[in-house]
Homo-oligomer: A and B are copies of this chain.
Amino acid sequence: MAVYTDVAAEDLAAFLADYDLGELLAYKGIAEGVENSNFLVHTSRDYFILTLYEKRVAAKDLPFFLGLMEHLHARGINCPQPVKNKKGEVLGMIAGRPAAMITFLDGMWIRRPSSRHCAALGEALAQLHLAGLDFAKKRPNALSVSGWRPLFESCCERANELKSDLKKFLAAELSHLEQAWPRALPEGVIHADLFPDNVFFLGNELSGLIDFYFACTDALAFDVAICLNAWCFESDHSYNVTKGRSLLHAYAQMRPLSRGECDALPLLARGAALRFLLTRLVDWFDVPTGALVRPKDPLEYYRKLRFHQGVKSMADYGIAGSEL
């Protein structure tokens, strides 16, 4: 929920003069996304999203993100598309920020996903992975295992403010994952943040995927692990095996998981939980003044991590390895 940077009408009109999108008629800051500032823009041609990239998104990564959206869209993934300006460029500057005009995608995100939604998500995730296989650009995942220790170090001294002995717990988990992290799994483009608010539905049909600003090159199964965390737990943080089974089964129908991926999934799920636990902890202790962002509960991911620590095999996620 964020509009970090205000945009004056005169500045937006000047920015739009470089595009072939008609006259500016209206724009509103929208309360979505936590990394960037987003505006819904009405021109005489259509509605668009204007995204201003704030400093948490590195400018050097923008060609990867915007190129990926174009690549995926060309392969049939319904995702927002950057709009080219008259010079054929997708990136401009407004209010001192790199900015892009993006097509407006209809659809609503589901606050309370059912196992049916989880199945749709699983299928779409596999389609995304397949469509990304021939994307040429690479971007390392800064929020995979090698990125966790710096995060841990920046928040560990205050971690126990949230829960006693949390620092010790995190240190042990981090050491274990650093040592045991699987390194030879099939890689490709992963979304890396495919939470329910980034997946649109129209009626019961999944209608689109948004927010590719964490996308990177990493183990595809790590994306599955992130989604298990994001989609298959109840509001009391208990794991729902029916949802997990739906997600994994639908994914594997489209892209079968290898034996190695299945064996690694419990560890990947721990890693995914630790990744969100750490970034939420950092955000919890470092809410920028005036950012108008409500930090998310880090301990939600502590509880999920504890669940994954107890998982012995895929069966605990609701599905037998042989079904994948």
Contacts and interface: CB of A to CB of B under 8 A. Distances in A.
Nearest to A105: B26
Interface in A75-109: 104-109
Given A3-B1, A47-B47, A293-B292, A106 B31 contact: no
A190 B94 CA distance: 37
A168 interface: no
Nearest to A26: B106
As for how many copies of this chain the complex holds, the number is 2
Contacts of A47: 42, 47
A153 to B, nearest CB: 29
Nearest to A289: B294
Interface string A1-13: 1010010111010
Q: Chain A interface secondary structure, helix, strand, loop or mixed?
A: mixed
> Which of A8, A28, A106 gathers most chain B CB within 10 Å?
A28
A316 B217 CA distance: 66
A241 interface: no
A28 B30 contact: yes
A290 B287 CA distance: 12
